[in-house]
Chains A and B, each alone.
Chain A
């Protein structure tokens, strides 16, 4: 006997409506006791959303019981032992904060003042005239995502119809952020699969072709997912074209210090644009470089041509943040402010960052060496070495990436991106085998 309730779930909407009307009619004739739920959920028609392509990888990894499994999905740093890493300066800062017994009052909508000051100085350099001139509006945001979202909302409100141009490919969540903020976007060519390098001509051409006054989303360093960055000379040309077309540069800086190991070197692209007197937007994140992933600490910066404009822009960013979450979380902001504000901690941070960046560079090298040793063909894998940052674009296509997971239990994103931060020297050989097998035996 099939329970009536399960019959209900297989009925179409129309059938349900008829049933409800019928039952209402019966009820109006007299009391009826029914064991079934007459009320259908108001959310009955909602479909199951697909898992997030990036964060979903970790979920799948966790479910896998194979002993050789390797998580090269999310860009979260791992030690050589493949453990998460809390920076020593972070622990010290937290202990200091606890000793001081600080309060937990609401931050202002724009966030912790000491953090905002520190983050702008880290980005542009403490002695940058822009800071003295108060031409930078800085608002603490929920890491990179939250900061990008505030900027997107500002664009939607104050530059209605303006497009954001994003690189092809780019971080998977960029388009979601602009979609939800209702900001139109289109792509500029970036990755050239033939060279596994930068399609520079395509990039310049597409930026030139965009309607005047478009926002051009640029990765400050360590492009995600490709790891391919423009050279300093190429950055100059990019800046030229952007100025020519009165576009507005919009930097996503998620890896400052983490890419090369040097905070200043990794900020050079942003500083180059700022030094030309250009107005720009910059979203920052401290998830990777201070290992503060879950604390959600970042900032949106808007460099304006006047202090007055910066003040007005800041006030409008606050107006966007208030109905979203009122004011940002305090803990991560305090950690950053404490680390950057104390010379000894700041230096120690720089050392830890160099170690993290160093480990990644060394596994990159080791992976390359392992692949070359095993691959008897003439294929040039040197693009792996030329890439920079946490990720490597392996050049594997979707089917090949699936093979990596299905056959080798190597978890990565479908675009062929692997996170070197999740690779240990010990696993390089295994990974090399997997890559070679996938590349040659799967099309």
Chain B
């Protein structure tokens, strides 16, 4: 039998090569680049000032505890996952004193990080909810539309980012949500909007809440950065809690990838806040029907670590300190990049280049935006230029991960941005 010739037609002849995932593919390309000056600002994974990945101290401690604990076994978790983890996760996002939790109106199921939580929630809605359209902000995380489409929902945009102001298009948002059919699902980034880093103010959230409740729109929160955005777990959950406090229903997908640095462990949770405990219990039973044919039950390791940390007062406190340190380092990177661009006289040069836009050129959006990412405003050509000439890897929408930046690399990045905006329109 000859080795690699197609002596028989493959039944997979018609299967074409899929393109690399646009976000994860950035790291693939970065890894292939042999140039030592390269910089990976693609995936939102936190790096230390030394440019290294970080495993939190509390995570290491929790892992040691688990390994030492003779009673720890690897039996199948229930379909909805680790019970302690679920309870603690609900308290974390909704607040320990949440009425919804006390009234047993919340069902929380462990899922595979943010993606898995969104997918399970979307599959549930596609099967059991009467409205099958989900409104997503323009722009949003690249994987969102794929998740919802495959789950059986159709996707419509609502205005969100204003390229002129590099801020929120609040009027557009209100108009688009106002025009949505009653009962439609609306995806909301709980904090640190990905990719723009632009969040509504609390006032604006309140207006959004009132509009949505008056139209019976169903909120579906994506909370991937609780604690990571401002440094405060409670502050970063305000938007979600506002909606829960009014007694209404909503979905919330939580991820521990960033705030506990548990990326590869795939830890997350889907919560559905319902009107009554009875509904919550029935909803939970139907969530199991989605999960069982997908992967049966979720992975134990990451969830066990989270449960240990959230339930131990000292570890929890230590976590909040480590979390704040990560958030602070990112905030400081924003400041440093902003200063470096100012120093290069970018504001002055930019005035000419951006004269067709109404906003005077400045880079203050870098410090106004929040969370891991900055929407630089660079276009696809400029991004390609930065990769080609400066070996800086980022997504083609102009998003950079501030978490991947450190002080030593700020000058290089500033040079690259400067070169990109001056040589390419």
Contact = CB atoms under 8 A, between A and B. Distances in A.
Interface residues of B, number: 89
Interface string B151-184: 0000000000000000000000000000000010
B15 A316 contact: yes
Interface stretch (A41-49, A357-365, A398-406, A407-415): A41-49
B147 A177 contact: no
B261 interface: yes
Given A304-B12, A306-B6, A323 B302 contact: no
B12 A145 contact: no
B264 A104 contact: yes
A86 B53 CA distance: 30
A380 interface: no
A246 to B, nearest CB: 8
A282 to B, nearest CB: 15
A177 B11 contact: no
Interface residues of A, number: 86
Given A76-B76, A315-B18, A328 B282 contact: no
Nearest to A152: B293
Contacts of B216: 42
B149 to A, nearest CB: 8
Interface stretch (A93-101, A221-229, A346-354, A371-379): A93-101
Interface in A192-245: 213
A268 interface: no
Contact of A52 (B21, B150, B279, B288): B288
Interface string A139-171: 000111110010000000011000000000000
- Residue of B8, B257, B264 with highest tally of chain A CB at under 10 A: B264
A143 B295 contact: yes
Contacts of A312: 12, 15-18
A186 interface: no
Contact of B115 (A9, A305, A326): A326
Nearest to B82: A294
A341 interface: no
Interface string B176-217: 000000010000000000000000000000000000000010
Contacts of B262: 104
A114 interface: no
Contacts of B10: 279, 304-306, 309
Nearest to B260: A104
Contact of A49 (B149, B264, B288, B295): B288
A84 B274 contact: no
Contacts of B75: 76, 84, 293-294
Interface string B49-67: 0000101000110011001
Contacts of B72: 86
B115 A324 contact: yes
Contacts of B281: 48
B78 interface: yes
B43 interface: yes
Interface in B283-299: 283, 285-286, 288-290, 292-299
Contact of B116 (A101, A135, A324): A324
Contact of B279 (A46, A103, A305, A318): A46
18 contacts: A37-B247, A44-B279, A55-B296, A59-B78, A74-B76, A84-B73, A101-B55, A103-B264, A104-B55, A105-B45, A106-B257, A143-B295, A213-B11, A294-B300, A295-B301, A305-B10, A323-B143, A332-B299
Given A48-B282, A323-B150, 20 more contacts: A44-B275, A49-B288, A52-B292, A104-B53, A104-B263, A142-B294, A173-B296, A180-B294, A246-B11, A279-B10, A294-B77, A295-B74, A296-B295, A305-B6, A306-B6, A307-B4, A322-B115, A323-B149, A327-B24, A332-B299
